[in-house]
Structure 1
Amino acid sequence: MSNTKLHVPNTLDAHLQDTVLTFNIAGVVLTASLLFTIAYAAWNPVSRHHLNRVSLRLLVSAIISNLLFAASSIPVFTGQSAGCSFMAFFGMSVFMFSVCMFFCIALNLQLVLVHHVNGNVMEKFYYIASGVAVAILNIAPYAAGQFGYSSGTCWFNDPRPDVQFQWLLGSQTIWILLMCTGEVVSFLFILRYMYLIRKDRVLTSSFSTIPKPPIMAYRSIILRIGLYPLLSCSLNFTGSILDIWLTKNPVPTELQWQLSFVDLCVFGLRPSLYSLLAATDPGFLRAIRALQNDRKSTNSTGTTSSIEFPSSESHRMERFSMNSRVLVHVQPELGKNLPWKAHGNKSRLDQSNAALTPFEEQSVWSHGGAAGARGKPPFVDQEPEQSGSSQAEQEREREEELEVEIQMRSRAEDIARQI
């Protein structure tokens, strides 16, 4: 019954705007600090390659949008004015753009991993489509004079609740809910696809010898990237439902005041939560570690060291990035115009170093090669042509193994840059 009573102004009302202002300022500081760090890591050649990923660039665009949204939410206007209307238009535009970016992150994962679409090619279309959608959805209410001062903030301000609800639903809420639903569907689709691939590998008799597909090799990174749209989905669902309820129930009851406070806190905490989550991104953390290692190496030697590749204990993606360049440099002619297939059970990654060593040092007991070299059984001399043919076949086999490994790693690096 207390929630149906009209709200009685009290001392908490005076602190409502202060609380929201604190959230906005904290979001601006955290987001600006994170963006500055990312910019420095992208500028430094030691750490730049760790940030070369489509989803991370989309994330940076979303974080910049959240920074602008937090800055536009700081209360500057205390009444209806043209500046307040423009601030509401600007704030809603950058807010919708961030929603579109998080939807594009989830969509890009599905397109690249499941449908094998090139994420680097699609990236520009993500920005173009998001910009066009934001312009269409926000220019119409701004031109109709629907933005202005309302309940201490610059937002939709039509005095008729039903008209305000229609504009809110048609230009913002329904599209946010659709994109949130799309994020959940894409992520569930990726999980199902990963489960089916894992199931197929378990049912395969030569499971231990089949190279892992990129979606399985990078499953931890894929699941980690999926946290961005999931957080966006939870915040947007909560904020949209609260906006609908508050618009349909404009009477200032105690419940309405409490939910209004929660709604403002949800929007105010968005930049801070996104910044904290982005600070734990695998690519960003590897870039920071690369900068720290380079600084330690510089301090210990007194000279600037070259770029160091990660150690063998680091993530699988980093080992792909490290080893493929070495292999391509040693055998550049082996990676040209070759089919993408595995040759039996010879495509393990730990065979690449063996393939580069001389044949006599590897095959000590193979076809009598080493025995003949050490003057032991004479059957090699009796069938020199067969032994030479055997040796040539084994060399071709090792070359084929190396070709497959080079292509595997090249493909893995390409997938890593697209997700």
Structure 2
Amino acid sequence: MSTTKLHVPNALDAHLQDVVLTFGIAGIVLTAFLLFTIAYAAWNPVSRHHLNRVSLRLLVGALISNLIFAASSIPVFPGPSAGCSFMAFFGLSVLMFSACMFFCIALNLQLVLVHHVNGNLMEKFYYIGSVAAVAILNITPYAAGQFGYYNGTCWFSDSRPDVQFHWLLGSQAVWILLMSTGEVVSFFLILGYMYRIRRERVLTSLSAIPKPPIMAYRSIILRIGLYPLLSCTLNFTGSILDIWLTKNPVPTELQWRLSFVDLCVFALRPTLYTLLAAADPGLLRAIRTLRNHSKSTHSTGRTSSSIEFSNSHRVEHFSMNDRALVNVQLEHGKNSTWEAEDNKPRLEQSSAALTTFEEQSVESHGGAGGARGKPQFVEQEPEQRGSIQAERDREREREEELDVEVQFCSRVEDIARQI
């Protein structure tokens, strides 16, 4: 077969680096533009709260790593040199850090949603663990002189295929494959947990109560799960191709084709990650908020109400329905009544005026008409007091429902910031 024969140089060989360079530059431009958009949305206080999520901050770290990796992949060293060795160390380090970030995204989803761990408290450990893993796995081969110029790129450069294979396997391929496997396992555990929650709600007739956070945010959770799945696909493909090419260094036709595919997979990583990150729900909401705010800064017509909590460090916004808005207005009216009760002089004046008005009204009817009017007024008092008490009971029930709804919204928003 032609794939087992030695590769014969052709016209495509001269343009191979140009194709890879084109993919790399496109990824650099797209990633830099997306990072600038995220930075502007995070800087603007109008849209900042939409980006307050652990997974999005981890995603930004992965995008920065891929941007640096794409820039370091541009061939600037034509041969073996100390700069090429450092570039290989630096490029593989940021590549490993990107894999760690996507693994942390999948792990954080599992810890928060399934095991109820606080994601905000775990975030610092994600960064510390990733940096420690990258340092341990890449400083060792760099100190051993295993990085350098190899086959037109800055990579593992040992001339002995077996030694090169062992360093690649021990410092890169095995750990990336393990993290990719962990991403897939975490994602399917989350899917299984969501299915179990949904089944329990159906069997126990709990569909009338508010949905748990994992069900209320299932679309966002599934969208976030696409990052680890894409990372797993690219990491598995790249690692397996690297292992196969290291074990088969003979330049056959098949080896040349797989080498071209391997270079394209690594060159397309920033572009694919950027396109997927551009569809992030939090980022889309932030961009939509900025666009609406720029169109009408002083607009007061809104379809959702905003509730401010004085005991929090910042304002939390919850999308409420019209019934909740009515409850808020009722509660405001009741609070105004309570405040009025504290002003005793005004109440006494109002009571005295009301008594004088009633006496004048009774006297003006005279005779039998006045006698008939007073008992009729007395008979209506119990009925009025009963209707007022019933109205107060209904207001109290609506206030309790509103409190439950606000607490649920607060809990859901807190979970959303952790995933």
| TMscore range, shorter length | 0.7 to 0.9
- Asked if the contact 2:180/2:232 (under 8 Å) is kept, the reply is yes
Assess, with a 3 A threshold, how the Cα gap between structure 1 residues 387 and 186 changes in structure 2: closer, same or farther. Answer: same
Deviation at 1:382, TM superposition (A): 5.0
Secondary structure (helix, strand or coil) at the match of 2:149 reads strand
Deviation at 1:177, TM superposition (A): 0.5
> TM-score, normalization: structure 1?
0.82
Q: Aligned partners of 2:183, 2:288: CA distance in 1, in Å? A: 31
Q: Aligned partners of 1:44, 1:160: CA distance in 2, in Å? A: 54
Q: Percent identity?
A: 74
Deviation at 1:393, TM superposition (A): 4.4
Instruction: Give the AA of the match of 1:408.
Output: F
Q: Aligned partners of 1:65, 1:166: CA distance in 2, in Å? A: 25
Deviation at 1:38, TM superposition (A): 1.1
In the TM superposition, 1:14-413 aligns within 5 A as 14-207=14-207, 209-297=208-296, 305=297, 312=303, 323-325=306-308, 328=309, 351-358=323-330, 381=381, 393-413=393-413
Instruction: Give the AA of the match of 1:134.
Output: V
CA RMSD of aligned residues (A): 2.6
Assess, with a 3 A threshold, how the Cα gap between structure 1 residues 248 and 206 changes in structure 2: closer, same or farther. Answer: closer
Q: Spell out, residue by residue over 1:312-349, the C-alpha distance to the aligned partner (whole angstroms, 9 max, x if none).
A: 4xxxxxx6xx5443xx47xx8xxxxxxxxxxxxxxx96
Instruction: Give the AA of the match of 2:262.
Output: D
Q: Aligned partners of 2:330, 2:380: CA distance in 1, in Å? A: 19
- Asked if the contact 1:324/1:409 (under 8 Å) is kept, the reply is no
Secondary structure (helix, strand or coil) at the match of 1:356 reads helix
Assess, with a 3 A threshold, how the Cα gap between structure 1 residues 46 and 308 changes in structure 2: closer, same or farther. Answer: farther
Deviation at 1:137, TM superposition (A): 0.3
Deviation at 1:392, TM superposition (A): 5.2
- Asked if the contact 2:330/2:395 (under 8 Å) is kept, the reply is no
Q: Aligned partners of 1:306, 1:120: CA distance in 2, in Å? A: 34
Q: Aligned partners of 1:237, 1:18: CA distance in 2, in Å? A: 25
Q: Aligned partners of 2:231, 2:66: CA distance in 1, in Å? A: 11
Assess, with a 3 A threshold, how the Cα gap between structure 1 residues 190 and 92 changes in structure 2: closer, same or farther. Answer: same
Instruction: Give the AA of the match of 2:162.
Output: D
Q: Spell out, residue by residue over 1:124-164, the C-alpha distance to the aligned partner (whole angstroms, 9 max, x if none).
A: 11111000000000000000000000010000011111111
- Asked if the contact 2:147/2:157 (under 8 Å) is kept, the reply is yes
- Asked if the contact 1:87/1:154 (under 8 Å) is kept, the reply is yes
Who is 2:367 aligned against? none
Q: Spell out, residue by residue over 1:189-214, the C-alpha distance to the aligned partner (whole angstroms, 9 max, x if none).
A: 1111111111111122352x210111
Assess, with a 3 A threshold, how the Cα gap between structure 1 residues 308 and 358 changes in structure 2: closer, same or farther. Answer: closer
Q: Aligned partners of 1:243, 1:10: CA distance in 2, in Å? A: 23
Deviation at 1:396, TM superposition (A): 3.5
Q: Aligned partners of 1:198, 1:379: CA distance in 2, in Å? A: 56
Secondary structure (helix, strand or coil) at the match of 2:8 reads coil
- Asked if the contact 2:84/2:149 (under 8 Å) is kept, the reply is yes
Who is 2:343 aligned against? none
Assess, with a 3 A threshold, how the Cα gap between structure 1 residues 356 and 285 changes in structure 2: closer, same or farther. Answer: closer
Deviation at 1:48, TM superposition (A): 1.3
Assess, with a 3 A threshold, how the Cα gap between structure 1 residues 287 and 245 changes in structure 2: closer, same or farther. Answer: same
Q: Aligned partners of 1:410, 1:214: CA distance in 2, in Å? A: 11
Deviation at 1:394, TM superposition (A): 3.7
Who is 2:347 aligned against? none
- Asked if the contact 1:324/1:410 (under 8 Å) is kept, the reply is no
Q: Aligned partners of 1:206, 1:230: CA distance in 2, in Å? A: 32
> TM-score, normalization: structure 2?
0.82
Deviation at 1:395, TM superposition (A): 3.9
Instruction: Give the AA of the match of 1:255.
Output: L
Assess, with a 3 A threshold, how the Cα gap between structure 1 residues 83 and 357 changes in structure 2: closer, same or farther. Answer: closer
Q: Spell out, residue by residue over 1:91-130, the C-alpha distance to the aligned partner (whole angstroms, 9 max, x if none).
A: 0000000000000111111111111111111111111100
Q: Aligned partners of 2:299, 2:416: CA distance in 1, in Å? A: 20
- Asked if the contact 1:85/1:147 (under 8 Å) is kept, the reply is yes
Instruction: Give the AA of the match of 2:236.
Output: F
What is the number of equivalent residue pairs in this alignment?
370
Assess, with a 3 A threshold, how the Cα gap between structure 1 residues 141 and 42 changes in structure 2: closer, same or farther. Answer: same
Q: Aligned partners of 1:16, 1:127: CA distance in 2, in Å? A: 36
Q: Aligned partners of 2:399, 2:45: CA distance in 1, in Å? A: 33
Assess, with a 3 A threshold, how the Cα gap between structure 1 residues 237 and 201 changes in structure 2: closer, same or farther. Answer: same
Who is 2:362 aligned against? none
Q: Aligned partners of 1:120, 1:145: CA distance in 2, in Å? A: 39
Q: Aligned partners of 1:103, 1:74: CA distance in 2, in Å? A: 26
Assess, with a 3 A threshold, how the Cα gap between structure 1 residues 50 and 10 changes in structure 2: closer, same or farther. Answer: same
Assess, with a 3 A threshold, how the Cα gap between structure 1 residues 296 and 389 changes in structure 2: closer, same or farther. Answer: closer
Deviation at 1:398, TM superposition (A): 2.5
Q: Which segment drifts farther, 110-119 or 164-173? A: 110-119
- Asked if the contact 2:47/2:289 (under 8 Å) is kept, the reply is yes
Structure 2 unaligned spans of 5+: 312-319, 334-375
- Asked if the contact 1:380/1:387 (under 8 Å) is kept, the reply is no
Assess, with a 3 A threshold, how the Cα gap between structure 1 residues 193 and 71 changes in structure 2: closer, same or farther. Answer: same
Secondary structure (helix, strand or coil) at the match of 1:210 reads coil
Secondary structure (helix, strand or coil) at the match of 2:148 reads strand
Assess, with a 3 A threshold, how the Cα gap between structure 1 residues 93 and 307 changes in structure 2: closer, same or farther. Answer: farther
Secondary structure (helix, strand or coil) at the match of 1:417 reads helix
